[in-house]
A and B are shown apart, each in its own frame.
Chain A
Amino acid sequence: MTADAHAGALPSDSSRAQGRHVYRHGVAARTAHWTWTLAILVLVMSGLQIFNAAPYLDASDKSNPAKRVLAFDAQNTAGGPVGYTIVFGHRIVTTHLLGYTDDGMGSESLRAFPAWLTLPGPQDLADGRRWHLFFAWVLFVAWAAYLISAALRGTLRELVMRPDDFRKLWPMPLYYLRLRKEPPPHGTYNPLQKLTYNVIVFVFFPLLILTGLTLSPAVDAAVPWLTALFGGRQFARLWHFVLMVLLLGYFATHLALVLTTGFWNNMRSMITGWFVLGKHDGVGP
């Protein structure tokens, strides 16, 4: 971290010098970033493998078809097998994509998510669970280690939302939509980035871990109020799935912005740590 990176709470002119190289992401942040990326990839794919074993989600404690929110199914018809996605009772034909899909063994069968999306590919609940439970630990340890290290080094200040950031929030979408020429003055992360990263790190990760834990009968026995908080076991399974979908939505947005805001500069800063400041970039909190 250069001396300039700690230039104060508000970015000064010197901290916004365009074209200057700054050491933006420390080893801990970069390691955390790529460990999270890998863990989330494995968790999503193995999670879909586990989901395939009971391809429906109920807003209830025990399984209850009357409270079914999402389900996948396949049926034989005169025109061949048809795959369905059933959302709140509405049937949508999704043959080959969802419901009746690639089974990873050269043909198609009743399978909510196709083999190319799951880990392992072919139907294998036992190994899907092994992957999922191991990488759940990887994500948890990487998350906790990042927070502890960032807190100790003082870099957490760059990330955590301050009251001031909420006021500067609304100009950011305008800037992205080119309705505003300049973003509001900001540090390492702009206010919208800060909010997004705060939601991911302080809301999504903990909620994903907690909803996942409540699917465990032993955790339920040890901490019964946690399951009740999410509306019961099947409801927790539904939250777990919804949080995963929202996280994928974030991932898509993140990827789009990485690609459109100086791809190589972004990638370099997340690999080597060094970032070249743009016209509007700042450093520090």
Chain B
Amino acid sequence: MKRRLFVASSLSALGLAGCGQVKTSLTNGPFRNVLLSTEKLNDAVIGTHGLAREYKDSDVDRDFRVNGLDTPSDATYTSLAHGDFHDYRLVVDGQVDRPQKLSLAELRAAGDRTQITRHDCVEGWSAIGKWRGVPLATVIAMAQPKPAARYCVFYCFDTDESGQNYYESLDLHQAAHPQTVLALDLNDKPLDLRHGAPVRMKIPTQLGYKSAKWVRRIELVADFKPIFGGTGGYWEDQGYEWYAGI
């Protein structure tokens, strides 16, 4: 009886382990390219249309959930933070006719949009925040993109344990969406350090990982393949979709 039980349980353990291996090899085998193809289909069918819902003041989460990489702790960022970001300059360069170096005052003067929108994390949770800042389209227009420019890449201050910088990218159609903003305020106060001070992206038509925090530079490029892992973003380099509309 005991032996039988042992045989049965080791068989089922073998079966489960084997099943796990099948699942892993199916995920990483030749079928992977088929799985990855869905992303282009979703981008083509769903794309970026319409406006994300905007909420009332009373819907706002006063303690907006913090997620993502740790608040940057390197010397450059820390000294900027100590000076209340007085010396911060947002660099806009790459395939542009007029590269920019914008102070926070200049950014605030360039445009003003307030939106109370829902932030949908790829993990599944949602939170609502009141974001105020400059539409990205305004800032890109100031730099006058060259015809070759197709994407804008956001470089951030934060890094992971291996030293890899966070970065993200949008195509110029997504960048032109009126609710794609460079946020400077959250819930009527300048962004605090944990929420991406002094400047972060807010893109309510895509999942949260697109809304990069601690942005220091925007580069306009013809292609993002030469940059870091080549898939257009920090989480994209780890297997997540570049088109994060779904």
Residues of A that sit less than 8 Å from B by CB = 50-51, 53-54, 61-63, 104, 115-116, 119-122, 124-127, 129-131, 133-134, 137, 213, 215-224, 227, 233-234, 237
Contacts and interface: CB of A to CB of B under 8 A. Distances in A.
Contact of B38 (A51, A124, A134, A220): A134
Interface in B103-128: 118, 120-128
Contacts of A53: 122-124
A125 B122 contact: yes
B51 interface: yes
Contacts of A120: 23-24, 27
Interface stretch (B70-78, B138-146, B188-196, B238-246): B238-246
A62 B59 contact: yes
B1 interface: no
A62 B126 contact: yes
Interface of B: 16, 19-20, 23-24, 27, 32, 34-39, 41-42, 46-53, 59, 61, 65, 118, 120-128, 204-207, 235, 238-241, 245-246
Q: Would you call the interface of chain A mostly helix, strand, loop, or mixed?
A: helix
A217 B119 CA distance: 9
A134 B31 CA distance: 11
Give 9 closest A-B pairs by Cβ, nearest first. Answer: A218-B245, A54-B124, A126-B239, A216-B246, A53-B123, A121-B20, A63-B125, A221-B50, A222-B50
A10 B32 CA distance: 50
A216 B52 contact: no
A42 to B, nearest CB: 10
5 contacts: A121-B23, A129-B241, A134-B34, A220-B52, A221-B49
A224 B54 CA distance: 11
B207 A217 contact: yes
Contacts of A104: 20
A234 B37 CA distance: 27
Contacts of B207: 217
Contact of B36 (A130, A137, A216): A130
B245 A217 contact: yes
A124 B238 CA distance: 10
A7 B239 CA distance: 55
A122 B24 CA distance: 9
Contacts of B125: 54, 63, 234
A213 B42 CA distance: 11
Q: Give the one of B124, B128, B239 with max A CB within 10 A.
A: B124
A119 B23 contact: yes
Contacts of B24: 120-121
Contacts of A227: 53
A130 B53 contact: no
Chain A CB within 10 A, most for which of B49, B125, B127: B125
B237 to A, nearest CB: 10
B242 to A, nearest CB: 12
A134 B40 CA distance: 11
A120 B238 CA distance: 15
Given A61-B126, A215-B124, A224-B50, 10 more contacts: A51-B124, A54-B123, A121-B23, A133-B246, A134-B38, A215-B246, A217-B245, A218-B246, A221-B52, A223-B50
